[in-house]
Structure 1
Amino acid sequence: MTKAIKKQALGRGLSALLKDPENDIKSVEDKNADKVVGNIIELEIEAIEINPFQPRSNFNEESLKELATSIKELGVIQPITVRKLDFNKYQLISGERRLRASKLVGLSTVPAYIRIANDNESLVMALVENIQRHDLDPIEIALSYQRLMDEIQLTQEQMSERVGKKRSTIANYLRLLKLDPIIQTGIRDGFISMGHGRAIINIEDLDAQTDIYQKIVSQNLSVRDTEALVKNYHDSLKPKAAVVKPKAASFDVDESQKRAFNAYFGNLVDIKVATNGKGKITIPFQSEADFNRIIELIKG
């Protein structure tokens, strides 16, 4: 705590340096830049604008109020990070919850790390830092990945190197953006998990996706239950094997004729007739003596 207070006290002195037009620091090469860049400095909240690259769009009001209460009692323990835009004008890179909570309790200044960065660098810093956070929902993370890829032309492989995640992990997040917007909202609001979303994404039809989503929510289904629903859906789309009906024989052998064969040979004779009029008569025998008996009958 003593160390934090000492740094913040030093930061108040550096604040005066930043407000001196003759010491306007615009790059790390400028005079006194080493005293400012990378140090904790007390900045006026009014001089800080929100970062347009901020990936977070949902802020839990109850959690924000709890953080505000903590800041009121203990102060801002972890400084925010900003980049210098112009004279006494800064843009937030990370720490929007801390900045919002500080405003709630009426603080006029907040401790901040000063960075010198261009738009692309600011975008990368803001998104990468926020992606590393544990409290972003899966859709916010997916949108952050997509924005980095779109705006600074990163491949999934390059993204993997930037954020220290496996390429397959990044691909799994990005696939969530193919879900119906209703389902994406469900993930953001915590009605279903990323695991549910990954199962549903295997269905291309958006109407079918939402049908399964409704069942998950209404029946409180697990991820495994969802995977089974998706499998059943795909199975229902497979063409059913046509039932091949046997072709009718070209003529019928009536029962009296069969009985006559059976009586003559003394065995159950099998008679089959094909559609082309051809057929087969099978005469079974039980032993060599029975075989010889049948032979004598055939000789007449």
Structure 2
Amino acid sequence: MEKLELRNVKLQWLNGGVTHLDGGAMFGVVPKPLWSRKYAVNDKNQIELRTDPILIQAAGKNILVESGMGNGKLNEKQKRNFGVLEESSLDSELEKLDLKPEDIDYVLMTHMHFDHACGLTKDSDGELVSVFPNAKIITSQVEWDEMRNPNIRSKSTYWKENWQGIEQQVETFEKEWSIGPIKMLHTGGHSDGHSILIIEDEEMTVVHMADIMPTHAHQNPLWVMAYDDYPMDSIFAKQKWLEFGISKEAWFTFYHDAVYRAVKFDQDGKITDSIARKK
């Protein structure tokens, strides 16, 4: 359970499961000889992508970033297609910290694609119920609207099983939402409602760009996913917040990266410090 401790904020990564997605889709138009130097690929052309929520403890609150893959939400065909070799073990991970799902005060959803939102609900006697019954679930208004009314492209990733049962817990924002040292900012890009997180704790800064920079290998602003609905918005947002973070000597944190939990970049894009994921 890797940690990043600031002055007044603690971040810990929890095991939320794993997917293995097509490397070409994950790196878009970037040629494989380039991206495969930076991120391992298997013989099926798939790359390992964690789905590990970050527990943030700040301002006296337990705050979860994303919800993981959950349990029992995918059928066998979906598991095979998405390379899901492991589902969430969030309950046992929280138990190690003397916490329960009921102790989570906020769940911050940068967006609500299935690999981020499957862990929000679970089946209870044939009914979908909230996994985090006492939490406020925060996402952008744009994201929440599309989650419930997906278009012909997005209906493959916005599933009713991941929002039915939590409607009363959801609180939305337009441009920005904050609690203590944590801010959520709407960027668009990967999805129309996609958001990022900025944590500023005294002189220490964390930038969590979610799926506009899903791994350390996506550091180049032009390396965007074929999954991105609005790639130019991803490019502009990534460029802006990379420059901001590097100027602050910030930690860049990840939900999907199978190699690093967090890294620092210098002005040339080279990694100067890192927290590796323990395997």
With the shorter chain as reference, the TM-score category is under 0.3
Report 1 or 2 for greater relative contact order, CA contacts < 8 Å, sequence distance ≥ 6.
2
Identify the structure with the greater strand proportion: 2
TM-score, normalised with respect to structure 2: 0.25
TM-score, normalised with respect to structure 1: 0.23
